[in-house]
Amino acid sequence: MKSHSHHVDGDGNHHKGDGAGNDESAVEIHPMHLLPFDSLPNKKQVWPCRPGSRGEGLGRLVLLTPDVVAAAAARCIRTGRRVSLGWELTKLEIANFGRSPCDHRIVPLLDGVAFDDIYTFNPQQSSQWDGLRHFSQPVVVVTPPGSGSGSAEETGLEEKEDRVLKEDAEGDGEVEVEVKVEDKGKKSTGSKRLFYGGVTPSEIISTASDRIGIQHWAKQGICGRGVLLDYVRYAERRGITYSTFSDHAIPLSAMLEMAAEQDNLTFRRGDILFVRVGVTREWDTVMTRGDKIAYANSPNPQHAGVEGTEEMARWIWDQGFAAVASDAISFEVYPPKESHVRRCCRPPGEDEAVVEVKAGAEVEAEAGAVNENGNVNGDTKNTNGTEDTHRDIADRKSTEHDDDCNGDHDHDDDGGHGVEEKKKKKKQKQKQEQKDAVGHTSVVPGIFLHEYLLAGWGMPIGELFDLEGLSRLCEQHRRWEFFVASSPLNMPGGVSSPPNCVAIF
């Protein structure tokens, strides 16, 4: 029984509705969606809404309030030029991951007086939004020593998720993965995969439940300000060559430099981020049929994409993005890497200026100790008391980096006593440091962004979008912001959907 007289939004407010997500008023933004990343109680589980509520079904799309959408339209729609962001449904015509290409049949009616057509397709094969039912995350189940299997408890989840896990532990057929961990004297009994809000695989497969289905997104669409970071052009300017069918990873530093070079692009809460990697162009213009068959038959396919690290997750969250999308097959680099290597010309322990973009598009060049993830503390005020832009900070970072590596700048404040001797010793020290720094690397742990964005935050992930025409229009207009209008399929319980998406300038 799905019908209800009312249900509760993310803030616990009651709204009248028909139980299918058709509220008479907009869903309020739960305060947890507005917290900085580092203040989140659980960075991998932002599940503030009640089970079955519209707020839960929308996930991060609650940031697309009427005011946010109206402001985006007023700001971005100027020329009326528009471009579709959907690739042909016939692509990828040679499938991987056991998927099938689109089948399209035209059916005559009344001896050719009219025609129908029949589509059989997997939305994941071409341009698509990953819905909240698409990907899960592991949740560890622990049992106190001496307890029976029926007393399993899950640490870090709210009561509703704890209840679900207890039911699962009693044997409802959910898949369990054996793990070996210890947590303050509690012995692990295994782990389960849960979807956003604590939804179980059995709920996804059940025809009696449409919880967190794609229909929630279809009711009002996915509309707002789109922003493009064009990695293809960024790489071409630097002579960086790569195949999009490799594990080439785009680090956060490159994302920040792209924003700086693209007219100091800044971000606002509710933005929809697009990252152009070049998959559709390579598939359509570079790869032979033999290349495509080899890819489809590969047991270990590789996909270029954004780097999966906590610093990337922090940046995505703190910008306030409502959704992310790319022309990449998996948005993030695939397979996910256990670690990412940072190469540096500085010796270990040497501080380095780092650029990090905070929530609300505020750029902070922070001074102080830098950890391996490149996270530091400080502010963006320059010596004139004004705010530095993305480009100011990126340029200063490059200059400081060159100065430190070359050792050309010497300073002395001892009134001139022993200046030459100090310079000589300093240069000798710098030469030795540079020699010691050759080949120095640091390692940053990797994460699986899908587990954070989809299962953790309820954030739509768009993949295989066609961004070629969008890239050209952005270059012609010399602006990388535009209005996005996307209308996902209104399929109760749907897992994913073609985007049916256009960008308007």
The CATH number of whichever domain residue 75 belongs to comes to 3.50.30.50
Residues 148 and 54 in one domain: no
Contact predicate 229/266, CB 8 Å: no
Residues 237 and 320 in one domain: yes
Q: Phi then psi for 42, rounded to 5 degrees?
A: -140, 110
Residues 10 and 126 in one domain: yes
Residues 30 and 150 in one domain: no
Does an H or E element contain 73, and which?
helix 66-76
Note whether residue 349 is domain-resident: no
CA–CA gap between residue 192 and residue 175 (Å, rounded): 7
In this structure, the number of other CB atoms found within 10 A of the CB of residue 342 comes to 16
Give the model's pLDDT for residue 191: 74
Q: Phi then psi for 67, rounded to 5 degrees?
A: -65, -40
Give the model's pLDDT for residue 432: 57
Residues 92 and 127 in one domain: yes
Residues 268 and 247 in one domain: yes
Confidence of residue 275 (pLDDT cuts 50, 70, 90): very high
Residues 232 and 317 in one domain: yes
Tally of structural domains, the chain: 2
Residues 125 and 257 in one domain: yes
Note whether residue 438 is domain-resident: no
Q: Quick check: 285 pLDDT over 60?
A: yes
Q: Quick check: 383 pLDDT over 90?
A: no
Confidence of residue 440 (pLDDT cuts 50, 70, 90): low
Residue 193's Cβ-count burial label (10 Å; 0-12, 13-18, 19+) is middle
pLDDT digits (tens, 9 = 90+) for 442-462: 889 999 999 999 999 999 999
Nearest Cα to Cα of residue 470 among 86, 8, 75: 86
Note whether residue 440 is domain-resident: no
pLDDT digits (tens, 9 = 90+) for 45-68: 999 999 999 999 999 999 999 999
Residues 19 and 59 in one domain: yes
Residues 284 and 333 in one domain: yes
The domain in which residue 183 lies consists of: 137-194
Q: Quick check: 11 pLDDT over 50?
A: no
Residues 23 and 82 in one domain: yes
Does an H or E element contain 406, and which?
helix 390-406
Residues 150 and 128 in one domain: no
Task: Please state the rounded mean pLDDT for residues 188-205.
Answer: 86
pLDDT digits (tens, 9 = 90+) for 217-252: 999 999 999 999 999 999 999 999 999 999 999 999
Q: Quick check: 292 pLDDT over 90?
A: yes
Note whether residue 454 is domain-resident: yes
pLDDT digits (tens, 9 = 90+) for 122-179: 999 999 999 999 999 998 765 555 544 433 334 333 333 333 333 333 333 333 333 3
Q: Quick check: 103 pLDDT over 70?
A: yes
Give the model's pLDDT for residue 247: 96
